[in-house]
Amino acid sequence: MAARSTGPKRAIRARCGVYDCSACDLYRSGKCPGCGSGNLRLRRAGDELCPIYECVRLLGIASCHECAKTSCALGDRTKLKCQLRARFGGARPSPAFVRRLDRARGAASAAGRASGGFADRLRSYLRVVAEYERREVPVVSSHQLARSIGVRASLVRRDLAELGGLGTPGRGYEVGPVAAAIREALDLGRKRPAIWLGVKGAIDWPSVVDALRAVNCSIVGVFDDDARGKVMGTLTVQPLSRAAVEARRIGATVAVVASERAVRPELLEGLVDAGVQGVLNLTRLRLDLPSRVAVEQCDLGSQILRLVSRLGGS
């Protein structure tokens, strides 16, 4: 449990109570910033540093494993409470951040729109940061992010600062923690049972399931009157009339409307009553739902309109 620096380019790996970061759920989830920058932040905040971190720094070694002493003055290190765990385990986004996100969400839910630029930017940041994560780049600067998504660096800093100080001056933002923080802010960790309404001609079902799983949506029911009994993956198609009942039973919060046959006012109303909070509408029909329900209209016509309305001049 100490910082180990394995080269100038590698991120500092933290050991943290559990003796090995790769076994630490906090670190794996990206919430733990690691001993290095983590303790830095603790110090800045006036909090106590991690005694293990102080010790190994003092001894000039990289990790307890390199300590030659036969007994440790710190006692059983597994018993030590990690300040980082204690401090960064919880939620950090500032109240202002939450307000802003809520506002952005509200604005968005208004009209099938996706305004409230802030929420959109968060998704953009996440997209870019996730890419860095995949490539195992440990740190990204506000300028890089800004260039990638086409905004000013100052705006990126403003946005990310509110996530809870995940940046280090002179260095940049830790990729993992930032990704995790945005995911948490958008509540992507929450499991969202989804039901699928309408089985269109040919769907690449596995890729559909994948796409939904990426945001923690698992399809728990497929409904259609015309393809009754058909088997989609592990699920059997059921009649639409059972959709609401099943949605309630399973606690589905998301519905995907994939065919015009499924667009029936009573049916959708029933789903909303059953607890569905968001609907992804793949048909060109307009859904008329209470404004508390988020509807994403994404048929080809709407998309092309969105595109064209951005072209304009010349």
User: Stretches 53-61, 147-155, 194-202, 203-211: which one binds DNA (CB under 7 A)?
Assistant: 147-155
Q: Residues 152, 190, 200, 228: which binds DNA (CB under 7 A)?
A: 152
CB of 222 to a second copy, least distance (A): 15
Smallest Cα–Cα separation from 261: which of 244, 283, 242, 246?
283
> What is the amino acid identity at position 143?
H
Task: State how far the Cα of 94 lies from the Cα of 213, in Å rounded to an integer.
Answer: 29
Smallest Cα–Cα separation from 278: which of 265, 291, 263?
291
Looking at the DSSP bridge assignments, the partners of residue 172 are: 168
Q: Residues 65, 127, 228, 264: which binds a second copy (CB under 8 A)?
A: 127
Task: Write out the binding residues for a second copy, residues 205-234 only, by CB under 8 A.
Answer: 207-208, 210-212, 214-217
CB nearer a second copy, residue 96 or residue 305:
305
User: Stretches 5-13, 144-152, 231-239, 241-249: which one binds a second copy (CB under 8 A)?
Assistant: 144-152
Task: State how far the Cα of 272 lies from the Cα of 275, in Å rounded to an integer.
Answer: 5
Do 252 and 225 contact (CB within 8 A), yes or no?
no
CB nearer a second copy, residue 39 or residue 253:
253
Q: Residues 33, 165, 198, 221: which binds DNA (CB under 7 A)?
A: 165
Task: Write out the binding residues for DNA, residues 32-51 only, by CB under 7 A.
Answer: 40, 43-44
Displacement of CA 82 from its chain's centroid (Å): 25
Q: Is 166 in the site for DNA (CB under 7 A)?
A: yes
Task: Write out the binding residues for DNA, residues 53-112 only, by CB under 7 A.
Answer: 100, 103-104, 107
Q: Which SS3 state, helix, strand or coil, does residue 14 take?
A: coil
Strand 167-168 and strand 172-174: the pairing is antiparallel
Integer CA distances (angstroms), 239 to 227, 245, 257, 263, 267, in order: 8, 11, 14, 14, 12
Q: Is 26 in the site for a second copy (CB under 8 A)?
A: no
Q: Is 304 in the site for a second copy (CB under 8 A)?
A: yes
Smallest Cα–Cα separation from 273: which of 302, 252, 297?
252
Task: State how far the Cα of 54 lies from the Cα of 60, in Å rounded to an integer.
Answer: 10
Q: Where are the alpha helices (DSSP H) in the chain?
A: 25-28, 35-44, 51-59, 83-88, 95-110, 117-134, 142-149, 153-161, 175-185, 205-213, 243-250, 265-273, 300-308
CB nearer DNA, residue 93 or residue 117:
117
User: Stretches 69-77, 108-116, 134-142, 265-273: which one binds a second copy (CB under 8 A)?
Assistant: 108-116
Task: State how far the Cα of 277 lies from the Cα of 269, in Å rounded to an integer.
Answer: 11
Determine how many CB atoms are found less than 10 A away from the CB of residue 289.
18
Q: Is 218 in the site for DNA (CB under 7 A)?
A: no
Looking at the DSSP bridge assignments, the partners of residue 174 are: 139
CB nearer a second copy, residue 63 or residue 115:
115
CB nearer DNA, residue 28 or residue 103:
103
CB nearer DNA, residue 174 or residue 246:
174
8 binds, among DNA, a second copy, none (CB under 5 to 8 A by kind): none
Q: Residues 57, 77, 87, 105: which binds a second copy (CB under 8 A)?
A: 105
- The residues that touch a second copy, with contacts defined as CB under 8 A, are 101-102, 105, 107-117, 119-124, 127, 131, 149-151, 186-188, 192, 201-202, 204, 207-208, 210-212, 214-217, 253-254, 256, 277-280, 284, 286, 291, 294, 296, 298-301, 303-314
- The residues that touch DNA, with contacts defined as CB under 7 A, are 40, 43-44, 100, 103-104, 107, 115-118, 141-143, 151-155, 157-158, 160-161, 165-173
